[in-house]
Structure 1
Amino acid sequence: MNWQKAAKTGALVLAGVMSIHWAVAQDNAELQTTARNFLRSGDYANAVLVLNQAIQNAPDDFQLKKDLAFAYYLKGDYNRAHSVVSPLLGDKDADIHLFQIAGNIFQARQDWKTAEKNYQRGLRKFPKSGELHNDYGDLLQNMKNFDGALAQWVKGIEADPNFPGNYYNAARSYLWTKEPIWAILYGETFINLESYTTRTAEIREVVMECYKKLFDDPAIFNSIPEESAKKGKKVAESGFMDAFKATMAKQTSVIASGIETESLIMLRTRFVLDWYNFYAVRYPYALFDFQRKLLKDGMFEAYNRWLFGPVSNQAEFKSWTTLHKADYDTFTSWQRNHPLKLKDDEFYNTGRLATIK
């Protein structure tokens, strides 16, 4: 019958169209993989060539265009990168990575205001993005707005407490303020989140230096106000800081001979024990919970050796790990199985930033 023949013909045509679309999609996926391999190998010109070919087949493919903008950026062709990325920012599929790419492109063109608007736009869409807070802070630092940069990194820690980048930048910034305590806390947190990179070695130096600054300036401990003087929305922050200072001030005799690994082990052991006697319920803090777990499991000495040994005395650290190889191996195994996990509701730094020196 004619209607049966027509239906059969229609089905064959539809199947053919679907096969073509499937083949094009498969080809584009392969082209995108090829282009990304070129990007990883540093062959940006070929990446651009392949991506442009794929976009001819799929002119509305968001991911291909995003990759093309990134390829142009890496190639150093910032004008073409700009022309590709700008229309994508209003797309419903615009993601965190796109706003990061766009920010890099705008900064490469030294278009600081557009870069700032880009990060603000991205954060309105993704307010919990640690990456965008981190990149926005980098931009503000490049613009010499150091207080604004630090504030942005602190906001990033609050928004996404398990993203390491904001801890890294905040710790480095707090090194130069009149309040080294946050550099100590954020620095140690970062070292646990990103444990074996060149940045880790840098932040070890920061933490050690800030312990020295902490006990070198008596005014830090003398500035503990009375509980009755705390008012307003910063009660939690000031209360946490005052509790930290009060607990640490009790341990000053331990470091009378100087700040080095041995004295820090004793100092920090006493701090953890005192904190859980007096303040842990009022001010829960994941880093201190982590330290307490290390103490209970017999890992605290090895942990502190790992944390401070390489910057305190490298030769002594190597000697200790050789003589206590079994203990150190046990700790490194424990460390892999017990990563530090931060919590959303344990944020005490409300943005009261000490003036940078």
Structure 2
Amino acid sequence: MRLSLLQLPLALLLVSGGAYAQQDSLLAREKAIAAIKLMDGGEPDKSIPLLEEAAKLDPESLDYPYEMAYARYLMKDYGKSVDILRKLTRRDDANDRVYQLLGNSYDMAGQKEKAIETYEKGLKLFPASGNLYLERGVVEVMKEDFNKALAYFEAGIAAAPMYPSNYYWAAKIFGNYTQEEVWGMIYGEIFLNLERNTRRTVEISKMLYLTYKSEIKIAGDSASVSFSKNNVINVSYDPKGGPEALAAQLKNLKMPYGGAVYEPNLAIAVAGEKIINLQTLNNIRSRFLELYQQKFRSMTKVPVVLFDYQQQVKEAGLLEPYNYWILGYGQEQDFTDWRAANGELFNRFLEWVKDHRLAISEETRFYRARY
């Protein structure tokens, strides 16, 4: 997903200069915004004259030659894009997006090694660049070297925890190509909170739902959950014993995070359910959160930021619509029926979540190496 440099706050672009300079900067910005609309509308060739005018009005700005390079990229004139961007890398104000687009241009021109070299150079200069880790990881995905790809995506998550695309790719790999689905479940749900209403969110919502369906097995009064390799947690539910009896079955298990925290907690939460659908997953996830807060949160060095956010949602009285919102694309008709019956509650959640988004700081980052 492209973020234009022109989406930066206008105040950052006008921090210096007199009235005439500011007037020229404003006019240049207006022309560039019009140019970007042309690009987004599939007419990058028509955007170039506007960007050239913008560059003349504000020759010190990096933004306009960058956008010209992007227009050339869209026109598949990768050589010209490379020429522009190589000059920009020599500027003191060159940023990570310059290296990202330069690497992409090399890649599309068939110069794979130059692309990798560019991404790596960019990462040395901008080690907190989530988008450069993303590009480097995608290179490895194309080679089907998923372990190496994960190393880049998870490094990107650690470096830029609010950048969604690395979570997206990490979730896809863990969910579809490994037996360590636990990480895909958490990365995937974090992604859904950071990116809204895109093709990718539909894809990950379905993946989470189908993973629950495939990895929770229920047979009579017994259930098994398997979200981590070689850690299949089998339990038998006795209604007389309740959750405490289930906890007793699990207390001697010594395993890494997936087996020591996530799976035992989920196994207890599943108890008593007979099928897996949106309604029962809402029940399971609600019990999971309660058990996590009571018993499991203290078992990790760093609390899971996603589960702490879920607790905020619960305290607002909105955990049920949140759970349906996260998993709804996995069972769309049931989600539609639930929304029709709970329209006021769901709308209240949608209003609440606008002002209460998941926020991840350096201290609360979630990535596998911390657990």
TM-score normalized with structure 1 length: 0.80
Shift of residue 56 of structure 1?
7.2
Secondary structure in 1 aligned to 2:276? coil
- 1:289-308 superposed matches below 5 A: 289-308=308-327
Secondary structure in 1 aligned to 2:66? helix
Aligned partners of 2:348, 2:55: CA distance in 1, in Å?
A: 53
Deviations 1:98-145 (CA, angstroms, capped at 9, x unpaired): 112112201111211111111111111221122221122122212332
Secondary structure in 2 aligned to 1:207? helix
**What's the counterpart of residue 275 of structure 1?**
292
- The reply on whether 1:333 has 2:344 as its aligned counterpart is no
Whether contact under 8 Å (1:181, 1:210) holds in the other structure is no
**What's the counterpart of residue 216 of structure 2?**
215
Aligned partners of 2:172, 2:338: CA distance in 1, in Å?
A: 29
Structure with the higher fraction of residues in helix conformation? 1
**What's the counterpart of residue 177 of structure 1?**
178
Shift of residue 27 of structure 1?
7.1
Shift of residue 335 of structure 1?
1.8
Shift of residue 334 of structure 1?
1.8
- 1:1-357 superposed matches below 5 A: 32-33=32-33, 35-52=35-52, 62-175=62-175, 176-216=177-217, 218=226, 219-222=230-233, 238-239=256-257, 242-255=260-273, 257-283=274-300, 284-312=303-331, 314-346=332-364, 347-350=366-369
Aligned partners of 2:19, 2:341: CA distance in 1, in Å?
A: 67
Whether contact under 8 Å (2:133, 2:152) holds in the other structure is yes
Secondary structure in 2 aligned to 1:250? helix
One-letter amino acid of the structure 1 residue matched with residue 336 of structure 2: K
Aligned partners of 1:92, 1:185: CA distance in 2, in Å?
A: 39
Q: How many residues were matched structurally?
A: 325
Structure with the larger RCO, 1 or 2 (CA within 8 Å, 6+ apart): 1
Deviations 1:241-290 (CA, angstroms, capped at 9, x unpaired): 521222122234244x2321122112112211111112323431221112
For the structure 1 residues 54 and 289, does the alpha-carbon distance in structure 2 shift closer, same or farther, using more than 3 Å as the test?
closer
TM-score normalized with structure 2 length: 0.77
Shift of residue 89 of structure 1?
1.9
Whether contact under 8 Å (2:261, 2:299) holds in the other structure is no
Whether contact under 8 Å (1:254, 1:267) holds in the other structure is no
Structure 1 segments (4+ residues) deviating >6 Å = 18-27, 56-60, 223-227
Deviates more, 1:190-199 or 1:212-221: 212-221
Unaligned runs of 5+ in 2: 1-17, 218-224, 235-249
Aligned partners of 1:293, 1:56: CA distance in 2, in Å?
A: 50
Deviates more, 1:214-223 or 1:292-301: 214-223
One-letter amino acid of the structure 2 residue matched with residue 151 of structure 1: A
Deviates more, 1:292-301 or 1:51-60: 51-60
Tell me which structure has the larger Cα radius of gyration: 1
For the structure 1 residues 143 and 59, does the alpha-carbon distance in structure 2 shift closer, same or farther, using more than 3 Å as the test?
farther
Whether contact under 8 Å (1:305, 1:317) holds in the other structure is yes
Deviations 1:226-254 (CA, angstroms, capped at 9, x unpaired): 78x78xxxxxxx34752122212223424
Shift of residue 31 of structure 1?
5.3
**What's the counterpart of residue 235 of structure 1?**
none
Aligned partners of 2:197, 2:203: CA distance in 1, in Å?
A: 11
For the structure 1 residues 121 and 330, does the alpha-carbon distance in structure 2 shift closer, same or farther, using more than 3 Å as the test?
same
For the structure 1 residues 178 and 320, does the alpha-carbon distance in structure 2 shift closer, same or farther, using more than 3 Å as the test?
same
Identical counterparts, % of pairs = 26
Shift of residue 349 of structure 1?
0.3
Whether contact under 8 Å (1:187, 1:203) holds in the other structure is yes
Shift of residue 61 of structure 1?
5.6
